[in-house]
Structure 1
């Protein structure tokens, strides 16, 4: 209120009395918890001045300058609803003792005053500061925010406290899971660790809440360490749960024990001093297996060394590599070829070289050559150099064309067998059936159809017709449909009208197929180790015969052989009796199920475990046999992807973690990040006190009492301001 000299006018005294009465009448309203009903204050506007009498001639502008800053305005209560006047303690809010024309007002915060532990003037003795800036500053203080929290708890009881703690803990854990998920994506996607801050910034710009701490490369490395630890623990739990172990070696990998698998090099499989021989001295039940994928590749290499097919096979390989080198040395040539492929409506493909160190390289490169053949012929036909003319003449020869398409066709069958050996679902009972199925394909596609070499059928142009054979829609089938007389898709071939060249390549086909069948029998079926592994097929219900007579005799020989080999570990007599009963039940109840499915189910039920103890031991030995080293090769490939030119200084320990996560980790949508966060909170790699954020997440839902609550308050008050870069992040924790 403005100063009014005593005796100035009756109007002034009347104004002072009205102001005093309005304040006293307003006090009961704000006393009810500090809240005001806005509907009851409609029409109330902040007073811009105090009219002291009609006789005062000063302008409104001059009056405003004379108004004291401490003049009370009712609109403040609407903006800051916790402003409060209390008459119960005898305080005089309208004090005329010193000057009856001057009003002194004490301001309180109703929320802070209800909190007895609050030491702020608004909650204790009252404030005389009537500046709006002081009200705003008080609303931002920790005392005020803490008093609000206390008031909410009192208003809602323990349920409100639990809900508030749950919300706080949920927000904290979501932020931490975001950090772990980003680190996991980096590990699985072979992304350099230094991109971690950039990815977090991108997520933040896209509206995802990301905590301000743990945004550096060291934090990413720590998160990857925890993820690796959880995955490793899960793997070790599975290994420890198995009564048997297997070994899978490719010069440098992990060692396990009942079965031994390697790439077949001398240091691994030597008869006297090889690793397998040394291990067999310790465990006579161990079987040593040369990787089946390596063997399938060696089968093809053996065929290539056969004198009857070597020259033509070598010619095809040379031409394929020359064509690939011709385009790889010149980007201009490659662009011209790609433009020609696009013009002829062919898929734009690059010619591949044959890599001797790759299992599937030979078949893949030859098949790619068949797919690009027509654009290649047109490209070399238009060439003007001696090299292009020579390549053109070799490519349009019927002898070369047939050998190329035949090799592409039959090597695709071998490659399919190789891929099946590498499949994750592959088990020991599948080896023999897959080999037999592949041998049957080779026999039917390339050997069974005998052709009278002296009586070729002739086409309308008088040229011998290429006989049927090969896979449906395979390269040979495509060649047969593309050849008309002496033309291959409008390109004139070098072809004998009497069929001598066709007779030669058909003989080549017969020799190659026969030699390949012999190689599969020798390398994949008849060796000692593979022979033992092939005996396990009788344990798969899917291999059981449907005839009752055949079922009675089925598996007897295999049971005897395996019983002899594992004498001392299982009882032969009991094994035979158990199997005679098991195969009857399996043929009726489990027909069509795989080896892993059935024996996994039996292992999980104690009734079946007690009924077939010897069979179960045998089945579990079969489950851990190492029939290929594809996992080792995948590991080496992942190492090359992880430790690349962008991360060439990465240490061995970190490389190991990233490789494990990329191989063993499930897709990011299926990974259980809550388990990792829980492990991080518990500090499985070190004392939790070294990780203040983990402490906060761990104690976000603890009760507001006891030692833990005291520690939490200390951390919230001292640690958070130091680890948070922005004030809003500190508010989230507080």
Structure 2
């Protein structure tokens, strides 16, 4: 196995050495023994045909203690593969600690070593683009997740007794949720789980009431589920989570249209801002469906019912307090979205799209003279270390006319033509070829998404058996990047294996 992986890593080194630029993807996992591991991928661009590749570098354990940082490990790994820090142009990271403390986080520390680096955090996080850690500091979010977690765990113990709640079990199967696993489940990131709780709510309350006499846990959950705030927050999640699900979907498209990124992020932020005052459809519908009945025992007070169940802790005061919670939650989500896609990143991506996407060009040559000048200046300033600005500006008028004539090409097709070292466009426009290579190294698309999820799945399945075993990384490498049997160089693997045996034999003799 080690020999096979050595062959694969040897190919990786050749790819990264040949690639003009490299995109880096870093994911964080925690195994059953609470060891932190970095799962690292790279995106490379071949100068021989312009095609991109997604490569799994491995799973690397982080030593305990703060003296040795995530950035240290990332740089160490890249150096071990012979990748100069000047080549690293993009960073996409995931995991709670990687996304936390943006001023001292992974990207900030790598930026000092990688002068061309731009952070582009669009790796889909499980079932939501944004990790729930972004809002976990809101007190009620913790309580809500604890409640939902307890519902699923309690239900799993007597699931056979209630077929009407089969939808809850379907969520566990669909989302591959292991309730016995060591990792915390962030239910506010899993839209199907929230949907199931909402649709099963009346039945779930009745079931918990029937279990209350023999189960203190069921009694406590029943009381919590009947509270206005629990139902109302569920409705808020039903309004908010689909927005991020849709946003996440865009980054899983293989030939993602970069020109729509800035409008999508802007529209999402605007939507969240609007919901602070107008409320979403599900929450508004919930308020409309509540029935108010005056209390006979207390003057000027009312009981509120929803779907035949009396809501607890429901009054004008509670509604006002919930409005504050809703606004805080939505602002937190909006703020995290803008942190993940800051304005300079959106400007960079938009500039690449403006220059290299033929479909964004004006419909007439008469309007092309002033097109894209500001965007090109932005890119030339950002990447001034690797382009000749004056030459690029002089070449731009002719470049635009040629791109205009290639209107049938996509963004990726044009970039490939420029990066391909034997193409006429590569020779004619060397600075645009450099910028196109940087654009192609951007970690995006369905292949990356599938490989990252494959890595997470393998880590989850294997961590019990290989909790601190280096062979896990080798197994993952073969499973994620291993070629078809008829394409693999077994002769080279045998050569590596024999050299490893000889080395081990010599070391044994020395000892």
TM-score (norm 2): 0.63
- Please list, as runs of the form range in 1=range in 2, the aligned pairs for 1:140-219 lying within 5 A after superposition: none
Asked whether the equivalents of residues 383 and 389 of structure 1 are also in contact (C-alpha less than 8 Å), the reply is: yes
Question: Is it true that 1:572 corresponds to 2:389 in the alignment?
Answer: yes
Match of 2:415 in 1: 599
C-alpha deviation, 1:420, in angstroms: 4.3
- Please list, as runs of the form range in 1=range in 2, the aligned pairs for 1:7-26 lying within 5 A after superposition: none
Change over 3 Å in CA distance of 1:587–1:380 after alignment to 2? farther
Match of 1:536 in 2: 352
The CA distance in 2 between the partners of 1:270 and 1:484, in whole Å, is 50
Higher Rg of the two aligned structures: 1
- Please list, as runs of the form range in 1=range in 2, the aligned pairs for 1:154-553 lying within 5 A after superposition: 235=12, 238-250=15-27, 251=38, 253=40, 254=57, 255=78, 256=83, 257-261=87-91, 262-263=93-94, 264=98, 270=104, 276-277=110-111, 279-280=113-114, 284=115, 286-289=116-119, 291-293=121-123, 301-303=133-135, 305=137, 310-327=138-155, 331=157, 333-337=158-162, 339-341=163-165, 348-349=169-170, 362-364=189-191, 365-385=193-213, 387-418=217-248, 420-421=250-251, 431-443=261-273, 446-447=275-276, 469-470=280-281, 476=283, 479=286, 487-494=305-312, 501-502=318-319, 505-506=322-323, 508-526=325-343, 532-533=348-349, 535-541=351-357, 544=360, 546=362, 553=370
Asked whether the equivalents of residues 23 and 442 of structure 2 are also in contact (C-alpha less than 8 Å), the reply is: yes
The CA distance in 2 between the partners of 1:540 and 1:359, in whole Å, is 39
Asked whether the equivalents of residues 599 and 619 of structure 1 are also in contact (C-alpha less than 8 Å), the reply is: yes
Match of 1:620 in 2: 437
The CA distance in 2 between the partners of 1:277 and 1:664, in whole Å, is 28
Change over 3 Å in CA distance of 1:636–1:518 after alignment to 2? closer
Asked whether the equivalents of residues 22 and 88 of structure 2 are also in contact (C-alpha less than 8 Å), the reply is: yes
- Please list, as runs of the form range in 1=range in 2, the aligned pairs for 1:554-573 lying within 5 A after superposition: 554-573=371-390
RMSD: 4.7
Which secondary structure state, in structure 1, belongs to the residue aligned with residue 119 of structure 2?
Answer: strand
Which secondary structure state, in structure 1, belongs to the residue aligned with residue 492 of structure 2?
Answer: coil
C-alpha deviation, 1:320, in angstroms: 1.8
The CA distance in 2 between the partners of 1:276 and 1:316, in whole Å, is 36
Question: Is it true that 1:685 corresponds to 2:493 in the alignment?
Answer: yes
Which secondary structure state, in structure 1, belongs to the residue aligned with residue 341 of structure 2?
Answer: helix
Asked whether the equivalents of residues 355 and 361 of structure 1 are also in contact (C-alpha less than 8 Å), the reply is: no
Asked whether the equivalents of residues 412 and 440 of structure 2 are also in contact (C-alpha less than 8 Å), the reply is: yes
The CA distance in 2 between the partners of 1:633 and 1:276, in whole Å, is 25
C-alpha deviation, 1:288, in angstroms: 4.7
Change over 3 Å in CA distance of 1:440–1:563 after alignment to 2? same
Change over 3 Å in CA distance of 1:508–1:655 after alignment to 2? closer
Asked whether the equivalents of residues 120 and 341 of structure 2 are also in contact (C-alpha less than 8 Å), the reply is: no
Which secondary structure state, in structure 2, belongs to the residue aligned with residue 246 of structure 1?
Answer: strand
Which secondary structure state, in structure 2, belongs to the residue aligned with residue 382 of structure 1?
Answer: helix
The CA distance in 2 between the partners of 1:382 and 1:547, in whole Å, is 68
The CA distance in 2 between the partners of 1:240 and 1:317, in whole Å, is 46
Change over 3 Å in CA distance of 1:614–1:525 after alignment to 2? same
Which secondary structure state, in structure 2, belongs to the residue aligned with residue 567 of structure 1?
Answer: coil
Question: Is it true that 1:635 corresponds to 2:455 in the alignment?
Answer: yes
The CA distance in 2 between the partners of 1:523 and 1:606, in whole Å, is 36
Change over 3 Å in CA distance of 1:347–1:289 after alignment to 2? closer
C-alpha deviation, 1:341, in angstroms: 2.3
C-alpha deviation, 1:407, in angstroms: 1.8
Asked whether the equivalents of residues 267 and 274 of structure 1 are also in contact (C-alpha less than 8 Å), the reply is: no
Which secondary structure state, in structure 2, belongs to the residue aligned with residue 685 of structure 1?
Answer: helix
Which secondary structure state, in structure 1, belongs to the residue aligned with residue 239 of structure 2?
Answer: helix
C-alpha deviation, 1:615, in angstroms: 1.1
C-alpha deviation, 1:571, in angstroms: 1.8
Asked whether the equivalents of residues 341 and 348 of structure 1 are also in contact (C-alpha less than 8 Å), the reply is: yes
Asked whether the equivalents of residues 443 and 513 of structure 1 are also in contact (C-alpha less than 8 Å), the reply is: yes
**Aligned residue among 471, 487, 491 for 1:675:** 487
Q: How many residues align?
A: 413
The CA distance in 1 between the partners of 2:8 and 2:363, in whole Å, is 46
C-alpha deviation, 1:246, in angstroms: 3.4
Higher strand content, 1 or 2 = 2
Structure with more contact order per residue of length (Cα contacts < 8 Å, sep ≥ 6): 2
Unmatched runs of 5 consecutive residues or more in structure 1? 1-220, 452-466, 691-734
The CA distance in 1 between the partners of 2:370 and 2:412, in whole Å, is 23
Asked whether the equivalents of residues 149 and 185 of structure 2 are also in contact (C-alpha less than 8 Å), the reply is: no
